[in-house]
Amino acid sequence: MNEIVSIEIIRYLITIIADRIRVMNIVIIGYGKMGKAVEQLARSRGHIISGIIDRHLMSSERALILKQGDVAIEFSNPESAFQNISEAITEEIPVISGTTGWTDHLNEITSLVQKKNGAFLYASNFSLGVNILFAINERLARIMNHHTQYDVSMVESHHIHKKDAPSGTALTLAEQIIENLDRKKEWNLSPAQDDTLHINSIRAGEVFGMHEVRYTSDIDRLSIAHEAFSRNGFALGAVLAAEWLYGRHGVYSMKDMLGL
């Protein structure tokens, strides 16, 4: 009798542990450096990579692979991201996307998610540190709105392979500043009028990502910055986002996931 009870307890505990881990079948869309980093991090957390979708696959092959997944993590390129995300949502697969340079189609994706009762989480940057930077940047812009002696500018640096400029992270920072700083109306890659936020975009070497916001007056400078040392922070954030999104419905951001 005691042995039967012990076996039942063990089975119960295994069920609880499995539920907490919630092993997922993950489809990776885009198998570049970020896709490979996501694969490694996902496996290290016990998840199964059920399929990989790259640009060489036909539509029918892509659909079959998507059907095998619980969630898709998409890091591709600005030209194919919208199609990739749309296909996954159409197949009723929750999607995590970190591709930048395509978000002029974000409203269309939002409508598709609502139509399919799907789930989608987009972030211009999945790094925990960057998302903390976003929270600080927003608060700092509100404070500096009252200190007009400071002009604000931004510099961002990435590897030479990055196609979009400025980066999606820089655009998020810029949008936060413009929303909270009355004296800035738009951003520009070239120094321009006083009401324009200048973003200096640098593409050199193999830099993983550096973003700095600078407030400069005649007597001093105040700055906030983040620098990534590897892709692992981005990959881990994406996998954590997938774990969080699974079972939810709607359109989310890292701010929702992190409670920021």
Instruction: Please indicate whether residue 226 is annotated as part of the active site.
Output: no
Q: How many CB atoms lie within 10 A of CB 14?
A: 10
For residues 157 and 170, what is the distance between their CA atoms, to the nearest angstrom?
10
Average pLDDT over residues 234-251: 95
Identify the DSSP state of 34.
H
Q: Phi-psi bin for 187: left (phi > 0), alpha (psi -120 to 50), beta?
A: beta
**At 59, is the pLDDT very low, low, confident or very high (cuts 50, 70, 90)?**
confident
Of 36, 116, 162, 249, which one is the catalytic site residue? Answer: 162
Q: pLDDT digit string (tens) for 166-201?
A: 988 899 999 999 999 999 999 998 877 789 999 999
Among residues 151, 152, 164, 88, which one has the least CA distance to residue 120? 88
Q: pLDDT digit string (tens) for 87-126?
A: 999 999 999 999 988 999 999 999 999 999 999 999 988 9
Is residue 125 within 8 Å of 234, Cβ to Cβ? Answer: yes
> Cα-flanking dihedrals φ and ψ of residue 219, to 5°?
-115, -15
The tokens for 59 are: 């539509």
30-34, 153-157, 187-191: which has the minimum mean pLDDT? 187-191
Listing DSSP states for 200-256 in one string gives: EEEE-TT---EEEEEEE-SS-EEEEEEE-SSSHHHHHHHHHHHHHHTT--EEE-HHH
The tokens for 245 are: 């999104």
* Whether residue 7 has pLDDT greater than 70: no
- Tell me the β-bridge partners of 252: 121
Of 158, 184, 198, 226, which one is the catalytic site residue? Answer: 158
The tokens for 186 are: 């738009």
Listing DSSP states for 61-110 in one string gives: HHHHHHHT-SEEEE---TTTHHHHHHHHHHTT--EEE---S-GGGHHHHH
Instruction: Please indicate whether residue 36 is annotated as part of the active site.
Output: no
Walk me through the domains of the chain, giving residue ranges and CATH numbers: 2-126+232-258 (3.40.50.720), 128-227 (3.30.360.10)
Is residue 199 within 8 Å of 189, Cβ to Cβ? Answer: yes
- The model carries a pTM of 0.74
